Amino acid sequence: MKVAFIGGGNMAAAIVGGLVAKGTRGEDLLVVEPNAKARATLAKDYGVNAVEAPGEELSHAEAIVLAVKPQVMREAAASIKPYVNRAVVISIAAGIRLGDLSRWLGGYARLVRTMPNTPALVHAGVTGLYADPAVSEGDRRLADTLMNAVGATVWFDKETDLDAVVAVSGSGPAYVFFAMESLEAAARELGLAPEKARTLALWTFVGAAKLAIERNEDPAKLRANVTSKGGTTERAISVMEASYVREKIMEAVKAAAQRSRELGDEFGKD
Ligand SMILES: NC(=O)C1=CN([C@@H]2O[C@H](COP(=O)(O)OP(=O)(O)OC[C@H]3O[C@@H](n4cnc5c(N)ncnc54)[C@H](O)[C@@H]3O)[C@@H](O)[C@H]2O)C=CC1
Ligand SMILES: O=C(O)[C@@H]1CCC=N1
């Protein structure tokens, strides 16, 4: 499969790495990236063709992944417009709506909007995807195969659902790291040595996530299994409940979804 990436930053590198690990040849991948250092790293690590600006070679791609920040999406779309004629175009940008992208590409309609996350870097990502009903099964399969190289895929029927996806799993790793930081800080305040505090905190997250995935059980049930009557966990959870931690997390996630909608409004203008 010949795939081109517009933008060769964090997320593009993660997807490129996943594709190469799954057998795609570096020479079948093209990355358009203005930053020379990022280009050199991608070429060295994965053997991709990395170029500074879009050109004729883009028109040979079967898929073009738009992996630039939402703020530069319009400019990036304009720069590739002359070469977009046979590829399915896949956006990974937060907030940017397909209607706007289509307009910037001169009415091009073979578009898929996706929202991956940074665990893609270690092939443990999860990506939400949406395509207009008119997009062919083949184009959907192509987008699915691409994102599947770096983790699980979940399709949605409404484009507005992607604002929720960005808030839940797109930004989600940051919430988990925040919780890791907090657990580690508490361990240190309790007098544990820094490196030991980190080991305990990180493996607690790894273990809990693995248990939840492998047992496929409701997290509430798994939590109940840890919580002995009159014990230590019960005391900790009661402090969290008294501080409305659950409600605060829900409020934060809703704020992220709102920001995704705002990005669409801000950067979707003409
Ligand atoms: N970082 C994250 O956790 C996630 C990010 N995203 C989305 O992925 C997109 C990229 O994010 P990152 O990879 O984190 O950003 P990044 O800043 O690492 O990468 C963006 C790259 O685009 C390049 N660039 C800038 N203008 C360009 C242009 N006109 N043409 C080609 N390349 C250009 C930059 O030099 C940079 O290397 C964003 O739209 C973001 O919303 C999606 C899911 C998760
Ligand atoms: O914070 C952001 O806007 C991007 C989108 C999802 C994760 N990072």
> What average pLDDT does this structure show over 161-176?
98
Residues 72 and 143 in one domain: yes
Residues 119, 245, single domain; the answer is: no
Residues 31 and 156 in one domain: yes
Q: Is 94 in the pocket of ligand 2 (CB under 6 A)?
A: yes
Q: Is 149 in the pocket of ligand 2 (CB under 6 A)?
A: no
Residues 89 and 113 both lie in one domain = yes
Answer whether 1's CB lies under 8 Å from 28's CB: yes
Task: Give yes or no: residues 159 and 216 share one domain.
Answer: no
**82 annotated to a ligand binding site:** no
CATH number of the domain to which 159 belongs: 3.40.50.720
pLDDT digits (tens, 9 = 90+) for 25-76: 999 999 999 999 999 999 999 999 999 999 999 999 999 999 999 999 999 9
HSE-CB for 98 with a 13 A CA cutoff: 24
Token couple for 88? 């399915």
Closest C-alpha to ligand 1, atom 33: 7
Q: What are the two backbone dihedrals, phi and then psi, of residue 51, each rounded to the nearest 5 degrees? A: -125, 160
Q: How many independent structural domains does the chain possess?
A: 2
Answer whether residue 265 is part of any domain.
Answer: no
Scanning the structure block, which residue is given the tokens 């209607």? 99
Q: Is 270 inside a domain boundary?
A: no
User: Does residue 3 contact residue 19 with C-beta atoms inside 8 Å?
Assistant: yes
State residue 269's pLDDT score: 77
pLDDT reading at 234 higher than 90: yes
User: Helix, strand or coil for residue 198?
Assistant: helix
Same domain, 155 and 53: yes
Q: Which atom of ligand 1 is nearest to the CA of 120?
A: 44
Residues spanned by the domain of 194:
172-260
Residue 1 has pLDDT above 80, yes or no: no
**Domain identity same for 24 and 148:** yes
Nearest Cα residue to atom 4 of ligand 1: 117
Query: What's the rounded mean pLDDT across residues 204-231?
Result: 97
Q: What's the predicted TM-score (pTM) here? A: 0.94
